[in-house]
Structure 1
């Protein structure tokens, strides 16, 4: 019976469908990471070398991308509930590939801007990908599967900037062509190997009112449990914004690190995160359950951010990397707990709501943490506390930890269910 309900989990190994979803998330993150080193320089090219204007435009590009994620994520999640995961995921991959081609060939800044708007929309496919995982994975195995997706995020952001920097050295537009090729190749791969995961009888009608981001987020207020877990999800996503907003400037100012040192450090962060999310989430959750794994991750996050903010030397900062890696237990466990609070036909909307929280955090976090950093290092203020944004992120983790203490511990599977789950693993 469990095999029929979760066809994608049959067998001991990972199914082709799961591998495709993993690759979808990996290539999405890789394509995003590839253009990180070159997008500012391409904008600078279009602004005639005016750094002030280029910085302003880059900020607008980042905010609009996050806004599109916020708006599009619930729509894509709801569409996947109505029409199935397969067509939505494949359409997103195709659209993203064509969009990267548009940006690679952009003759003017406004065309590049349109490309970023479309990229924000099509990159929202993660909500459908997570719903697919919920469809094909038994509830007690979902934290491990979401941990694997977290590893895909980490790997993409480790490899992406390195590949983008190498390609961009030869031509600023070459990384966009590479990102397009990966997305289109993923579309073709999925077209032949990706089965539909959502049965027709479980599909929900598409209601335009339900895809309003505010309405979609209302799903998280349905029960106190969902409300707590939604709050924790937002806290985790918001705290994460301190890294892209401040880490590079912080390491350069406080430790005098150049691009090479920063690159090695970021690669180490990614590798440590992949070890935790790809290899340790499953056995740890199996041993202690989702709630305790979530609390462990939030505690490690609070300690790690505080260590980053306090670290007087680069060596001490690097000691915080393995501590922060344990933070990777938090999000997969929270996501797994949330999937148990809604029905099968609402998984897409749930993941869309979670992705909208990510978009909201992406609109708020970078600006807030960057402002905190600028204020903390401004010689006029005399505060001289460059670690302030990391301390703020640590406080957020403490708030998440306090909320997590009130979360219900998930029921451990009984002998019969555990045996069935083992058969479909």
Structure 2
């Protein structure tokens, strides 16, 4: 192995471990939302919580959702806001990294994430907590930056395996983070400001992550390979928030006609996949609680199973495994059948996004890679902002079985689109 190969391998591993720290900090809050909402319902002195609760209750009553799922819908609303803010920020962060380098933008986003955790720790009101989530959502462009860095540091032959490492980092984060968060709830039960303990855990992880990146990550985009200035694509500010421009990748320049068609098609496949997937993923909480009497601990074990299976199956199965997954989950009558469906669900989760990210990273060249991947990530965030709301509407309108069967059928659309996409051999 040459020195260059060694440096590439080291750089990818640095980003992998950085992502693990970041995702552990990010996911620790996920099982805490119901308890956080209960806390602010009792102790918030402002009007934001009560007004948002009234809106959620109106939605819940219109759909016929049981009262005990208000916190789930509330969490979905906050999650959709977080994803929508990622939709707004990811293309800009990616484009700026093409000009000023990956490391400065990576550190800026990480400092923003750290600030959001610090606000969470000090959130004595619901308004401050929402402000923390807003800052966190706007700062979460570090994920698209990490994919750009991995693409910078890998060759065409090794890019797929390198991108799979990002999937493994997600699997680790989403397996361990929620379990740690739930443990904090149990450990700090009875204390008034119990949430400061998981918040400080996230703060410590982000401080370690920032120090780690400062000292161990070397810039992956040298000066001679950067974009020239902000006068080009970044000057077209409207394109950064216009969904039609993002779907058309109007910010990306100098592509051949066939490359442009492929890039737009892969972006649409990614959006449709995450639109259907994220909605059905969100309603799993309803399904398992109502039909299988899962409490929060059993749901935690379910998500741990998903995360572990994803880590083990990286690169083994593809997009089409999601179709039987949601058929089986939606029609399952026993826990064994549910977990059989979750196996296919995990397999699809493990490979689809890394594969699509690998494909799209081959477009735009080194000078536009951050912009391409930022736009791509933005489309996924938009899908995650819309999917849970639409799926909740369908779930409570027509029932879980038809909702999941319909989702499985719709997932055939991106699969068929992928079959018709002409992917160059080098990708």
TM-score of the alignment, normalized to the shorter chain, above 0.5: yes
Name which of structure 1's ranges 77-86 and 140-149 shifts more when overlaid on structure 2. 140-149
C-alpha distance 157-123 of structure 1, shift in aligned 2 (>3 A): same
Equivalents in 2 of 1:348, 1:329: separation in Å? Answer: 22
Contact 2:247/2:268, CA 8 A, preserved across alignment? no
Change (3 A) 1:227 1:216: closer
For 1:28 and 1:357, the matched residues in 2 are separated by 21
CA shift, 1:26, in A, is: 2.2
Q: Is 1:212 aligned to residue 240 of structure 2?
A: yes
The alignment's TM-score, normalised by the length of structure 1, stands at 0.84
TM-score, normalised relative to structure 2: 0.83
- The aligned counterpart of 1:302 is 323
Which has the higher mean CA deviation after the structures are superposed, 307-316 or 238-247?
Answer: 238-247
Q: Indicate the residue corresponding to 1:406 in structure 2.
A: 420
Structure 2 distance, partners of 1:396, 1:163, is: 35
Residue by residue over 1:299-322, the C-alpha shift from the partner in whole angstroms, topping out at 9 and shown as x without a partner, is 111121211112121111111233
In the alignment, the residues of structure 2 paired with residue 330 and residue 165 of structure 1 have an alpha-carbon distance, to the nearest angstrom, of: 28
8 Å CA contact 1:254–1:386 kept in 2: the answer is no
Among 339, 343, 348, the residue aligned to 1:322: 343
Q: Is 1:252 aligned to residue 315 of structure 2? A: no
Q: CA deviation at 1:216?
A: 4.0
The answer for the alignment partner of 1:293 in structure 2 is none
Please state how far the C-alpha of 1:403 moved relative to its aligned partner. 0.2
Question: 2: distance between equivalents of 1:361 and 1:23?
Answer: 27
2:403 aligned with 1:389: yes
Map of 2:210 onto structure 1: 187
Task: Describe how 1:259-298 pairs up with structure 2 within 5 A.
Answer: 259-277=296-314, 281=315, 297-298=318-319
Whether contact under 8 Å (1:311, 1:317) holds in the other structure is: yes
Q: Structure 1: which 5+ residue stretches go unaligned?
A: 285-295, 377-384, 414-425
Q: Report Cα offsets for 1:311-344 as digits up to 9, x if no partner.
A: 1211111112332233122222222121223211
1:158-197 to 2 correspondences below 5 Å: 158-169=175-186, 170=188, 171-197=194-220
In the alignment of these two chains, the number of paired residues is: 383
Does residue 355 (structure 1) correspond to residue 377 (structure 2)? The answer is yes
Tell me how large the CA RMSD over aligned residues is.
2.4
1:369, CA displacement in angstroms?
Answer: 0.8
Q: Look up the match of 1:67.
A: 84
Aligned residues of 1:144 and 1:332 also touching (Cα < 8 A): no
The DSSP-based 3-state class of the residue aligned with 1:139 is coil
How big is the shift at 1:390?
2.3
The alpha-carbon distance between structure 1 residues 389 and 177, as it changes in their structure 2 partners (threshold 3 A), is: farther
Distance 1:150 1:389 in 2: 27
The 1-side partners of 2:122 and 2:98 are apart by 35
Cα distance change on mapping 1:17 and 1:399 into 2, 3 Å: same
The alpha-carbon deviation at position 33 of structure 1 amounts to 1.4
1:418 aligns to what? Answer: none
CA distance in 2, matches of 1:143, 1:233: 17
